[in-house]
Amino acid sequence: MKKVHNFNAGPCVLPKEAVESTIAAIRDFDNTGIGLLEISHRTPGWERVMEETRQLWRDLLNIPADYEVLFLGGGASTQFMTVPANLMEKKAAYLQTGVWAKKAAKEAKLFGETVIVASSEDKTYSYIPKDYTIPTDADYFHITTNNTIYGTEIRHDMDCPIMLVADMSSDIMSRPVDVTKYGLIYGGAQKNVGPAGVTFVIVRKDILGKIQDRKYMNPLPTMVDYRTHAVEEARNISMFNTPPVLPIFTMHETLKWLKETIGGVEEMNKINVKKSNLLYEEIDRNCMFVGTAAKEDRSIMNHCWVMAEGYQDKQDAFMAFAKERGMVGIKGHRSVGGFRASLYNACSYEDVEALVACMQEFEKANK
């Protein structure tokens, strides 16, 4: 197979071990003689995978017992609707740090008054707004911890006067998280914990089932109500209907790799910071490039940069140069332009070294 360095923003690069064991399980799941794609999700072997996957989430993120961990379909985009459906009685507050946050707020508006406490849209979401007031009469405050398109990140668990809800699609499992600061955390798996097709939801159980006085979507349709997936007898958690078995299996293998090979999220965070520093140092040092995100808000997952003044005409040339050297997925999102390299968990230090070497070579040849 061709040697490439995969910097795609999502779906992302996965640990080789996780992909290999998925292939093996597709052929023969758990020595049953039946492949993963063909087993019943009610077989004991599968129930064990579900239970172990939930346990891996609990172990890795230290999730307390009063939170449930759900694996659902529909992607993070479906959660933009499901979150307000379950948690918003009258009013919610949103921090608009990118188009994902904006899309989340758009769905909330269907359910009630939605306050955008601050937005960085004026500067193409290149920073995280800091000066804002959270209305204390809102049911929750929604943040997007990592802004995949713009390369900004809220890398701490903030103190919030009301319930905090976070879309952590693109930085979940990249660092330790204090889950107790949040009422609910959700995201699509395909940025850091698995392939597309499964959505994780970590929710404190006591916040569910509180909606009374609301006109829209009340009572909740069965599939939209988190309790359908959470508050059943334990063996049915996330098994109300057929779960996405294939992506859950690969997520299980990816988290096992994170726990056993890497040693957990603290270790992962150290490696991620090291990878990220290496690339930002080069972006800042190289005279041909300039970073687009405010330095204090830089993401350690997604790194965005453009050609510096005087070198703008070299953009296509660098893209071709990098492609020739095996760099994949470094084209920036059209709203930012330039380049974006996503250094998710399974992207190795060597991958980043290769990218940095490529940037240095290009500078030497073109300065």
Ligand X SMILES: *Cc1c(COP(=O)(O)O)cnc(C)c1O
| Binding-site ranges for ligand X (CB under 6 A) | 10, 75-77, 100, 144, 148, 167, 169-170, 188, 191
Looking at the DSSP assignment, which residues form a beta bridge with residue 164? 141
In 3D space, the residue among 115, 145, 147 whose CA is nearest the CA of residue 132 turns out to be 115
Alpha-carbon dihedral angle through residues 286, 287, 290, 291, given to the nearest 10 degrees:
20
Q: Quick one: 191 or 252, whose CB is closer to ligand X?
A: 191
Q: Quick one: 101 or 356, whose CB is closer to ligand X?
A: 101
Alpha-carbon dihedral angle through residues 155, 161, 166, 172, given to the nearest 10 degrees:
40
The pair of structure tokens assigned to 97 is 């740090």
Query: Which residue in the list 100, 171, 275, 297 is annotated as catalytic?
Result: 100
CA distance 114 to 213: 16
CA distance 304 to 340: 4
CA distance 103 to 171: 18
Nearest distance, CB of residue 5 and ligand X, angstroms = 21
Nearest distance, CB of residue 125 and ligand X, angstroms = 11
Q: Quick one: 77 or 348, whose CB is closer to ligand X?
A: 77
In 3D space, the residue among 171, 193, 202, 192 whose CA is nearest the CA of residue 251 turns out to be 193
Query: Which residue in the list 191, 275, 305, 351 is annotated as catalytic?
Result: 191
Using alpha carbons only, how large is the chain's radius of gyration in Å? 21
Query: Which residue in the list 46, 57, 139, 167 is annotated as catalytic?
Result: 167
Sign of CA dihedral 273, 275, 281, 283: negative
Q: Quick one: 100 or 111, whose CB is closer to ligand X?
A: 100
Please indicate whether residue 167 is annotated as part of the active site: yes
Please indicate whether residue 191 is annotated as part of the active site: yes
Q: Quick one: 53 or 286, whose CB is closer to ligand X?
A: 53
Q: Provide the annotated active-site residues.
A: 100, 167, 191
